[in-house]
Amino acid sequence: MAARRIRPSLYISVDIEADGPIPGPYSMLSLGAAVSGVQDAGGFTAADPEKHTFYRELRPVSEEFVPEALAVSGLDRERLAREGLDPALAMAQFSRCVREVSGDAQPVMCGYPASYDWTFLYWYLIRFTGASPFGHSGCLDMKTMYATKAGLPLRAVAKGIMPRELLSRRRHTHHALDDAVEQAELFANLMEWQGPGSPSR
């Protein structure tokens, strides 16, 4: 019996900004993505996170919003209602971008934490394009990854407790593309980190 061919994984850091806790009643207002690196049988190779990026601002899908959630991003809902990209077009463009940069590799979304961003991303992909280039489970949570390598309970993990050499030197701005690039660097460092007491690179 022939050995099963394992395709490489292309890790794409994704960050979204939204105006509430769940998609549908609330809206994803912006989407940023940056390629972090590729993993194959030979290991992980980091990418320049600024080389392959994607950013769109979207038109809201409902009238509801949570003011505190909206304030985090600093985005103007009224402007986005007029000028934001139609969600169906934005998600079609994103899916095409993911497929183009992935080539023969399997794309994997990674986030910090992935749960919130993945919930919006997957809902929007299925709702507006009918499919996800990541499949239904192609996401990886950086908090879980760090907790596992560091031997810590998940709820004890925060960026503030991580070794400084793991963290990006970029600021976390709550602009979706800025944060996707920052977290792409964090992911690449985590992939190469062997655990407490070891260098990150």
52 assigned to active site? no
Separation of alpha carbons 188 and 185, rounded Å: 5
CA dist., res. 8 & res. 110, Å (int) = 15
At how many degrees (to 10) do helices 176-192 and 142-150 cross? 30
Do 98 and 129 meet the contact criterion of CB atoms below 8 Å apart? no
Whether 13 and 37 have beta carbons less than 8 Å apart is answered as no
Contact criterion met (CB below 8 Å) for 24 and 61? yes
Q: Which of 61, 35, 39, 80 is nearest to 128 (CA)?
A: 61
Would you say how long the chain is, in residues? 201
What single-letter DSSP state applies at residue 6?
P
- 135 close to 109: Cβ distance less than 8 angstroms: no
**What is the C-alpha to C-alpha distance for residues 98 and 106, in angstroms, rounded to an integer?**
10
Q: Which of 136, 172, 174, 175 is the catalytic position?
A: 174
Catalytic residues: 174
